[in-house]
Structure 1
Amino acid sequence: MSNGPVGVALVGAGVISGQYLRNLNSFPDVRVVAVADLDTDRAATVAREHDVPVSGTLGAVLSLAEVEIVVNLTVPSAHAAVALESLRSGKHVYGEKPLAMNMDEAGKVMAEAADRGLRVGGAPDTFLGAGLQSALHALRSGLIGTPVAVTAATQSMGPESWHPNPEFFYQPGAGPLFDLGPYYLTALVSLLGPVARVAAGTRRARDQRSVGSGPKAGTLFPVDVPTHVNALLDFPGTATAAATFSFDSAVNRRMIEIIGSEGALSLPDPNTFEGPLLVRGPNDADWRELPVTGTTAGRGIGVLDLARSIRAGTPHRASGELAHHVLELMSAITESGERSEFRAISSSVTAPEPLPADWDPHAATLT
């Protein structure tokens, strides 16, 4: 087994790569050694901006022996292909959400990793942040008794008002369910365990939308996915959840509330790493804030946990199995909306263990 910091290569030098690189470069237990992109000039620019020594094509960075983990930040349609090529080159893979475009692709990725004894990890890793980890501890302590029901929602009018290239948000692999749903569904599974079945109703308010900002402002583009999704999720032996994912709402809302037999929790936005975390008991007149402890280091802590777990030979938390289960939930929700029927979920996953209280992303633990 290797020792010392784990070598990482980023594939995909788009906007999100900056967040990952800033954070990963601050973690002493990982070392970013390469950046790859179809646009090798862009890869070189990003590598230079973040003091990464090597840039180039995917093939070039996969040939580097010091690369142990590939962080796959490509567009969703390329997630499976890049993951498979990386695994076949002997690298562990951590991918942005979703794990793949569909369950068939995801199954191939998971099977390839299993055959080669390699690991798959997947975003989002926000459930490892202080806010949701504190919620997990509150639930496990029995603060609100037995969870009974969940209400979750992410609602807006969509990203085209501010994003200069919003078209991909309305193509397969995106929409409010596949773009924002992973944050909410991953949070819920990490808190309550796997889902057994789902049902949904879906709508598409408009067949076309227009770019609202930038040089393409006013340009029309097609909408090819549902833009309003109402889903029911059945967590066996515990709560049921009602979740709304919408790009059709004049009301902006980002919330998860868990009702228990002895009270309720109001969770922070699951697309963040911080609080606030609120609790309300049966006799409380209003919500009160709970202390939030843990890391707020941001995107990339899932990669770091994967790296440390590889060295220690222990399970990593933002796992491929978790991402695979969430992908099946989203796929089944979409199918239920099309067929107007409950859909059983065949995959399962063990809810990840909480991070240790002393888990510090900026402390060197691998020597």
Structure 2
Amino acid sequence: MKIAIIGTGFVADYYMTTLANHPQLVLGGVYDRDLARLKQFADYYKVATYPDFETILADNEVNIVVNLTTPENHYLLSKQALEAGKHVYCEKPLAMRYEEAAELVALAERLDLILASAPANALSDAHKLVAKSLDDIGKPRLVYAQMEDGPVFRANWQQWRSGSGARWPGLHEFEVGCTLEHAGYALSWLVSLFGPVESLIAFSALTFPEKGLGTGAITMAPDFSVGCLQFRSGVVARLTCGLAAPRDRSLIVLGDKGTLTVGDLWDHRSAVYLETAAKGRSLRTKLADLMEVRLKRFLPWKPPPGRKLAYDRSAKPAKLPAYPSQIDFAGGIAAQAAAIEQGKPLFSSGKVALHITELALALNNAVSLPQPYKMQSTF
């Protein structure tokens, strides 16, 4: 299936790295309005370029337009691609406003096209392992999800470059906000495991307005958010996103009969631990608890509870970007292509993509929304 990429910035390198995992996807070419950046990218990866976006839309062989532009451009460019009869895979969020995202989903449905949204980490081997193991912990009751990326504004982010030489768009990331950039990685897991959210109570704030050289001239989005999500299934989840606390992208699912712990939602094969009430605590956990009693103080690090679950090692490992972004980014496009070819629905598209977008917007914009926030979308 032939695809075309618009936007050759920092994240596009992640897609190019993982495209090798999916030989059924044929890259027809790429386009970026920054012609210098476009040439740099095309020379590095030795791929064809399009002279403009309109040429992509006119290419009858292109089935999927992959929209990797900046978030404020997602709505208009995705809309144009859909109107041209193209399926669209869009980086998160679908749009910066719920009404625009809902319009895109309705347009895709009306034209019988698939509009899918990143992220693709809910297609990971780790997610499959957790989904298969949920029955072992009984009915899930409570979930703790962390999406903390550490104090990146204190790092030397101005010098960060992708493999092909693109600058990390730090100023723009601070403008858009860590919640719109990162919450989807947790939300995609949560809604695929536990279904739609009915309501949430959220809080967001700009806690560190000074983020270094050049940031004083921009209007920054919240750099911290926390939300308590009430799922229709009865599950309650707490999700935090931030750019200051130590890096933590873990997920803990607590059920009637045990606990599942995922080390890193950005890791395709993250360590996953299972602890059940029937088998009791592991020896490591017991020793750590005993040490705390003996030392009469809390240990800042303890082993995850339970036993580490095993992956199938016979499968060929996926080619992934370097740590910390060990996600098969192109896997979402491959799943979309398979759905198109088979004429089957794609879970991460349409109403689900809209639901995740609405959740991210509700978390990011919590300060200006009534609380509790009642979800408009469902699936």
TM-score by length of 2: 0.82
Provide closer, same or farther for how the CA distance between residues 233 and 26 of structure 1 changes in structure 2, counting only shifts above 3 A: closer
1:244 correspondence with 2:248: no
Partner of 2:130 in structure 1? 135
Partner of 1:353 in structure 2? none
On the 8 A contact 2:200/2:374 being kept in 1, the answer is yes
Mean Cα displacement is larger for which, 144-153 or 338-347? 338-347
Cα offset, 1:63, TM superposition: 1.4
CA distance in 2, matches of 1:79, 1:263: 41
Cα offset, 1:256, TM superposition: 0.8
CA distance in 2, matches of 1:259, 1:223: 39
Provide closer, same or farther for how the CA distance between residues 66 and 199 of structure 1 changes in structure 2, counting only shifts above 3 A: same
Partner of 1:330 in structure 2? 360
Return 5+ residue gaps in structure 2 as ranges: 159-168, 286-305, 320-327
Match of 1:201 among 203, 207, 217: 203
What are the superposed Cα offsets for residues 292-344 of structure 1, whole Å, 9 maximum, x if unpaired?
34774511111001111111101123313222101111222344433561011
AA in 1 matched with 2:309: L
Moved over 6 A (4+): none
Partner of 2:258 in structure 1? 263
Cα offset, 1:157, TM superposition: 4.2
Partner of 1:169 in structure 2? 173
On the 8 A contact 2:203/2:227 being kept in 1, the answer is yes
Cα offset, 1:25, TM superposition: 4.3
SS at match of 2:249: strand
What are the superposed Cα offsets for residues 255-298 of structure 1, whole Å, 9 maximum, x if unpaired?
11000000000014222311211111221233210123477451
Match of 1:146 among 136, 139, 142: 139
Provide closer, same or farther for how the CA distance between residues 335 and 299 of structure 1 changes in structure 2, counting only shifts above 3 A: closer
Root mean square deviation of aligned Cα: 2.0
Match of 2:350 among 312, 320, 333: 320
SS at match of 1:306: helix
1:346 correspondence with 2:370: no
CA distance in 2, matches of 1:166, 1:92: 30
Partner of 2:6 in structure 1? 11
On the 8 A contact 1:87/1:93 being kept in 2, the answer is yes
Match of 1:91 among 74, 86, 90: 86
Provide closer, same or farther for how the CA distance between residues 59 and 254 of structure 1 changes in structure 2, counting only shifts above 3 A: same
Cα offset, 1:41, TM superposition: 3.8
1:290 correspondence with 2:290: no
Counting helix residues as a fraction of each chain, which structure ranks higher? 2
CA distance in 1, matches of 2:234, 2:205: 29
SS at match of 1:341: coil
Partner of 2:290 in structure 1? none
Provide closer, same or farther for how the CA distance between residues 274 and 304 of structure 1 changes in structure 2, counting only shifts above 3 A: same
Match of 1:191 among 184, 193, 205: 193
1:65 correspondence with 2:53: no
What are the superposed Cα offsets for residues 230-273 of structure 1, whole Å, 9 maximum, x if unpaired?
21000123310111111232x33221100000000001422231
Cα offset, 1:22, TM superposition: 3.1
CA distance in 1, matches of 2:48, 2:41: 11
Mean Cα displacement is larger for which, 112-121 or 162-171? 162-171
Provide closer, same or farther for how the CA distance between residues 26 and 243 of structure 1 changes in structure 2, counting only shifts above 3 A: closer
AA in 1 matched with 2:171: E
Identical amino acids, percent of aligned pairs: 26
On the 8 A contact 2:22/2:330 being kept in 1, the answer is no
Cα offset, 1:221, TM superposition: 4.5
SS at match of 1:245: strand
1:46 correspondence with 2:41: yes
AA in 2 matched with 1:98: P
On the 8 A contact 1:207/1:222 being kept in 2, the answer is no
On the 8 A contact 1:200/1:340 being kept in 2, the answer is no
What are the superposed Cα offsets for residues 111-142 of structure 1, whole Å, 9 maximum, x if unpaired?
22122211101100111010111111111xx1
Match of 1:102 among 74, 97, 100: 97
SS at match of 1:38: coil
Cα offset, 1:26, TM superposition: 4.4
Mean Cα displacement is larger for which, 155-164 or 309-318? 155-164
Partner of 2:24 in structure 1? 29
CA distance in 2, matches of 1:339, 1:308: 38
CA distance in 2, matches of 1:107, 1:223: 26
Mean Cα displacement is larger for which, 77-86 or 296-305? 296-305
Partner of 2:183 in structure 1? 181
On the 8 A contact 2:263/2:271 being kept in 1, the answer is yes
Partner of 2:338 in structure 1? 308
Residue correspondences, number: 333
AA in 1 matched with 2:186: Y
CA distance in 1, matches of 2:75, 2:370: 29
Partner of 1:123 in structure 2? 118
On the 8 A contact 2:21/2:318 being kept in 1, the answer is no
CA distance in 2, matches of 1:27, 1:252: 30
On the 8 A contact 1:278/1:290 being kept in 2, the answer is yes
